[in-house]
Structure 1
C-alpha cells in the first residue's frame, strides 16, 4: 500500500500591494473615527456654554464632560455588536459599518442648534449623537487593531499594531491643530456661537475617502483561514465564557492606557485653562507636544517589541505613571505656567507611547482568531467606559470636592497600579504561535 501524504493547508500570504492597501484603509479610517470622537474634548468648554443653561464655569465644564463621558457608555455595546459581526462575517464589513455610523453622528453634532434656540432639545440631541459616536468607536478600535495585526508578518506584528495607535495619535494632533487654529483666528464668543462646529463638519467631509478605501480592501488572511477551517457560530458567547479570563486581562491592562490618554489629553486642556488659568494657546500647544512625542515613541517601541519582547515596555510604562504622575501635577499646581503643562504632556507622551506601541499586538496575541474581535472589543471598551471616558469628569470632580490641584494625579496612580499588578500576573504568550490559535 502506498501512503498518500496529507499536505498542510497553504497559508495565503498577501501581496505587498494588498498589505499596503490594508494598512492605509485601517489607519485612515481609524484616524477619521478617532478625530471625530475626540474633537469634542478640545471644545468641551465652548460646547458646554452653547448647549447647557448658564451656570458657574466649573458646573458647565462638568455638564459638558458628563455628556462627553456618555459616549463611552455605548462603547462596550458597540464593541459587542460589531465584534460579533466582525468575528462572524469578517473584519471588513464591521469596519465599514462603524465608519458610516460615526460619519452620520459627527455631521449631525455640528448642526445641532444651541440651547438658546431650542432649549433642552439641544443637550438631548447632543447626548444622542454622542451615544451613536460611542457605539461606532466601540466597534472601531478592536476591528482596526485586529485587522492590522492579522495582516502582519510574524516578525512585524509589533510594528503593525503600533501603526494602529500611530493613526490615533495623528488624529489627536489633527484635533489639537484644528482647535489651536480656531482659537487663534476666532474670538471666544465666535467659538461658542459657531466656531466649535467647524471641525465636526470638516471631519464629516473626510468620511467618503475612508469609506472608499475600506470597501476595496481584502479580508485578513488569518480570518479567511479560520473561516475555511470551520468557525464557531457564536463568537461573543465563546469570548465571554471560555475566554473570560483573557477578556478580564485585556480589561485590566487597558485601565492605565485609557486613563492616561484622556487625563493628559482632553482633561488637561480644561484643567490648565479653567483651573490653573493658563492661556488656552499654551494648553493646546502642550497637548500637541505630548501627541508629537507619542508619535515618535510609538513606532520605535513597536519595532523594538518585535526584537526584545513586549511585556517589559508595558511594565516600564505603568511604573512610570505610578512614580511621576503626582510630581508632574504638583509642579503644574505650583508653577501654573504653560511650560509646566508642556513638561507634563511630554513625559506622559513618552510613557503613553511606550504602552501604545506594544499593547495592541500584545492584547491580540492573548486571544484566538475566531473570537479576537469580540473579546478584544469587550475588554478594551469596558475599561475605556469605566475608567477612561469619565476621566475628565472624575478629574474635575476630584479638584472640586477636595480643593487639591494635584487630586487628578491620584486617579492616574491608582489606575497604573492596577494595570501593573495585572501585567505582572499575566503569562506572556508565545509570539511565534500566538495568532495561529
Structure 2
C-alpha cells in the first residue's frame, strides 16, 4: 500500500466533533511561544548587523567589505535551512514529531546564547568571525526544522473545526518573533549610547534570546506526541524507506505547489516586512525612527492577520481566504508604495493595512501541511518549504536592489506579481483540499 493511500481522507484533523480543550490550548501556547522565541533568535542578528560587523572583522577593513561579510554570515543561515530542515524532518517522520520539535529549538537557543558570549576579533582574531559563522549555520539548520515541524505538530493535534485557527495562531507566534526583535533592538538603542551598544549592550538581546529559548526547551517537555504519529507507530505505518525518496517519487506535484506558495510567502515577508524599512529610508528619505515605528505597526497587523486568516479558513474555506487575501495584498501593496512618502499618519496607516493582508501567509502552512500524507508529511513540507525559501528568500533582496536602479516601484511590482501567483494557486485543487491529518486505510472525502 502506498503512503498516498494511507493518508487519503476527509478531515483536516483528528476528531471532527471535538472542540479545543485545555491540552490543545497548552499545545498552541507552548508551540507559539517557542516559535516566537526561535524566530526572534534567528532575526535579532540583522538588527545588530552593523555593530557586529565592527566587532567581528578587522577595523582597517573597508566598510563595504565588512558589511558584505557580515550579511554573508547572515545569509549562511538561509543556506543552511534546507539541509537542517530535511535532516530534522527525516527523523521527525521516523522517530516522532515531539523529539525533533524540541531539538530544533535547542539548536537555535544554544548558538544564540553562544553568540552573546563570543569574544570579538580584537580578542581572538580570525577565529571570531569563523565562530560567528558556525553559530549562524546551526541557527539556520534549526529554523529549517522548527517552522515545518511546528506546523505539523499543531496540525496533528488540533480538532477539525479549529485546524486553520490552530495553524494561524502558531504562525502569528512565529511572525511575532520579528516584532519582538524589532522592539528589543529599539529598546537597546534607546537605552544605551552607541559606545555602550558596541561595548557590551549588543550582547544583551542574544543572551536573553538564548536563555529564554532554553526555558522553552524545558517547557516543551510537557507537550505530548501527536496522536497522528502515535497512530502511525501503533499501526507500524511509519515510513519504512527514506522519506525524502518517497516525496521525490510520489509527491512531486505537492512539492511544487508548496514550493510556489512559499515563494509567495517569502515575497510578502522579505519585501514588505524585512526590506521595506531600509527602502523607506534610502529611496523616500523617511526618518529611521518613523520607518521602524511604521514597520512595528505592520508587523503587529501581520501577527493579528495570521490569526484572522486561520479563523476565517475554518469558516469559509481555505480557497476563499486565499483568493480574498492575495487579492487584498495586490491592492494594498500598490496603495502603500504609490502613496510614499505621504504624511507620517498615512505611512503608518497604509503600512499597517498591507501588513494585515500579509497575514494571508498563514494559508501557506494551512494548505501545505495537508498536501502530504501523514507518514512523510514532515519531510514533504520541510523539503518544499525550505528549498523554496532558501532560493527565493535569498535572491529577493538582490533582485530588488538591481531592479530599483531602474524603477523605484520595484517592491510593489514584485509583491503584486507574487500575489497574483498566490491567487492562481488558490484556484488549484490543492488550495481547497488535501490529505487528512489522520492516516486512513480506506478512502473518504477530501479535506476542505
When normalised by structure 2's length, the TM-score is: 0.85
| Alignment partner of 1:297 out of 286, 305, 315 | 305
1:179 aligned onto 2:185: yes
Does 213-222 or 367-376 show the bigger shift? 213-222
**Aligned partners of 2:410 and 2:252: how far apart in 1?**
34
Deviation per residue, 1:413-433 (Å, 9 max, x gap):
343344444333444454794
User: Aligned ranges for residues 37-436 of structure 1 at < 5 Å?
Assistant: 37-52=42-57, 61-231=67-237, 232-273=240-281, 276-326=284-334, 328-332=336-340, 335=341, 339=345, 341-356=347-362, 358-399=363-404, 402=405, 404-430=407-433, 433=436, 435-436=438-439
Does 287-296 or 48-57 show the bigger shift? 48-57
Deviation per residue, 1:281-332 (Å, 9 max, x gap):
2222112101211232222221111111012222333334444435533433
Deviation per residue, 1:68-99 (Å, 9 max, x gap):
22211111111110111111111001011111
**Aligned partners of 1:327 and 1:119: how far apart in 2?**
49
**Aligned partners of 1:336 and 1:428: how far apart in 2?**
37
Deviation per residue, 1:200-220 (Å, 9 max, x gap):
110011123211221221111
**Aligned partners of 2:197 and 2:316: how far apart in 1?**
48
* Structure 2 residue aligned with 1:3: none
Distance of aligned partners of 1:179 and 1:300 in 2 relative to their CA distance in 1, 3 Å threshold:
same
Aligned length: 424
**Aligned partners of 1:377 and 1:40: how far apart in 2?**
23
**Aligned partners of 1:298 and 1:167: how far apart in 2?**
9
Contact 1:92/1:219 (8 A) holds in 2: yes
1:251 is displaced (CA, Å) by: 0.5
**Aligned partners of 1:10 and 1:252: how far apart in 2?**
30
Compute the RMSD of aligned alpha carbons.
Answer: 3.0
Deviation per residue, 1:114-156 (Å, 9 max, x gap):
4455444333322221111000000001110001111111111
* Structure 2 residue aligned with 1:5: none
* Structure 2 spans left out of the alignment, 5+ residues: 1-13, 441-448
Contact 1:68/1:389 (8 A) holds in 2: no
Distance of aligned partners of 1:267 and 1:66 in 2 relative to their CA distance in 1, 3 Å threshold:
farther
* Structure 1 spans left out of the alignment, 5+ residues: 1-8
When normalised by structure 1's length, the TM-score is: 0.87
SS in 2 for 1:373: helix
Contact 2:73/2:136 (8 A) holds in 1: yes
**Aligned partners of 2:83 and 2:200: how far apart in 1?**
32
**Aligned partners of 1:102 and 1:432: how far apart in 2?**
31
1:22 is displaced (CA, Å) by: 2.0
Distance of aligned partners of 1:283 and 1:170 in 2 relative to their CA distance in 1, 3 Å threshold:
same
1:167 is displaced (CA, Å) by: 0.8
Give the structure, 1 or 2, with the largest relative contact order (CA under 8 Å, sep 6 or more). 2
Distance of aligned partners of 1:424 and 1:291 in 2 relative to their CA distance in 1, 3 Å threshold:
same
Contact 1:325/1:413 (8 A) holds in 2: yes
Deviation per residue, 1:323-375 (Å, 9 max, x gap):
4435533433xx2875565345313311111332x332221121111111111
Contact 1:278/1:337 (8 A) holds in 2: no
**Aligned partners of 2:100 and 2:66: how far apart in 1?**
36
1:185 is displaced (CA, Å) by: 1.5
Does 103-112 or 273-282 show the bigger shift? 273-282
